[in-house]
Amino acid sequence: MKVILFGATGRVGQGVLRECLLDLEVDFVLSIVRATPGQRRDKLRELVRTDFFHFADIEKELAGFDVCFFCLGVTSSGKSEEEYRRVTYDVTMAVGETLANLNQGMTFIYVSGTGTDSSERGRVMWARVKGKTENALLRLPFKDAYMFRLGVIQPLHGITSKTRSYRIFYSLTAPVLPLLKAMLPNYVTTTEQVGRAMLKVARTGYPKRVLENKDINSL
């Protein structure tokens, strides 16, 4: 299996990349990043890029892949709806439309969030934008597309977030997260489980196009 990964330096992306590199059925990973973390693995290639809105210049390098794990995202905190939509919707659709044209046999897996608003009309800004993004991705001509609506994610294996508020949150809650996960499995997952669930869905599919935490943990 050949994988394209967006967002490998983020908390979720780090976990997905780790599981891809450990998986014997993954032959090659192309990681599209803004700045390279400098990992050196035989089956990993990092492509550093500043323009995430246009990909015509590298189309040849984006063809021939089986799956895209799209883990790129930003917090909505402190952003206007227009600013948040530009990164969350516009970037995602620029990637999705490009890859759908180049790899119609591809499975596209998108990191979304618990509480996403599929109606696109609710009061919560980030949920509306995520819902618009999910709906647009599901209309693209991929072989399959799946939305992973993640809730609280316990980082494992030394993984950290680039977002300061998330780092503080997970630092404060680290002692109780395993207990919360045991008590609330429908709302808490781990970076390891997310990565493994994505790989399984890429290989075998899933009956639902939108997966919540309980689906991810069951996988």
Q: What is the CATH number of the domain that holds 205?
A: 3.40.50.720
Parent domain of 67: 2-218
**What local confidence, expressed as pLDDT, does residue 26 receive?**
98
Q: Secondary structure of the chain in the HEC alphabet?
A: CEEEEECCCCHHHHHHHHHHHHCCCCCEEEEEECCCCCCCCCCEEEEECCCCCCCHHHHHHHCCCCEEEECCCCCCCCCCHHHHHHHHHHHHHHHHHHHHHHCCCCEEEEEEECCCCCCCCCCCHHHHHHHHHHHHHHHCCCCEEEEEEECEEECCCCCCCCCHHHHHHHHHHCCCHHHHHHHCCCCEEEHHHHHHHHHHHHHHCCCCCEECHHHHHHC
- Residues belonging to the chain: 219
User: What's the rounded mean pLDDT across residues 107-117?
Assistant: 97
Mean pLDDT, range 12-21, rounded to an integer: 96
pLDDT, tens digit (0-9, with 9 covering 90-100), for 44-72: 999 999 999 999 999 999 999 999 999 99
Phi, psi of 188 (to 5 degrees): -125, 135
Average pLDDT over residues 6-24: 94
- The span from the CA of 19 to the CA of 21, in Å, is 5
Residue 36 pLDDT grade (very low, low, confident, very high; cuts 50, 70, 90): confident
- Confidence at residue 154, expressed as pLDDT on a 0 to 100 scale: 84
- Give the rounded distance of the alpha carbon of 138 from its chain centre: 15
Q: Which range, of 80-89, 105-114, 185-194, averages the lowest pLDDT?
A: 185-194
Q: Are 73 and 13 in contact (CB under 8 A)?
A: no
pLDDT confidence of residue 165: 58
Distance of CA 180 to the CA centre of its chain: 23
Which pLDDT band holds residue 216 (cuts at 50, 70, 90)?
very high
Mean pLDDT of the chain: 90
Higher-confidence residue of 55 and 37: namely 55
Give the span between the Cα atoms of 118 and 29, in whole angstroms. Answer: 31
182, pLDDT greater than 90: no
The pLDDT assigned to 34 comes to 87
pLDDT confidence band for 119 (50 / 70 / 90): very high
Percent of the chain predicted with pLDDT > 90? 74
pTM for this prediction: 0.89
Evaluate if residue 170 carries a pLDDT over 60.
no
Q: Domain count of the chain?
A: 1
- 210, β-bridge pairs: 147
**Hey, which residues does 211 pair with through a beta bridge?**
148
Task: Measure the CA–CA gap between 91 and 89, rounded to whole angstroms.
Answer: 6
Q: Which two tokens stand for residue 112?
A: 């979304």
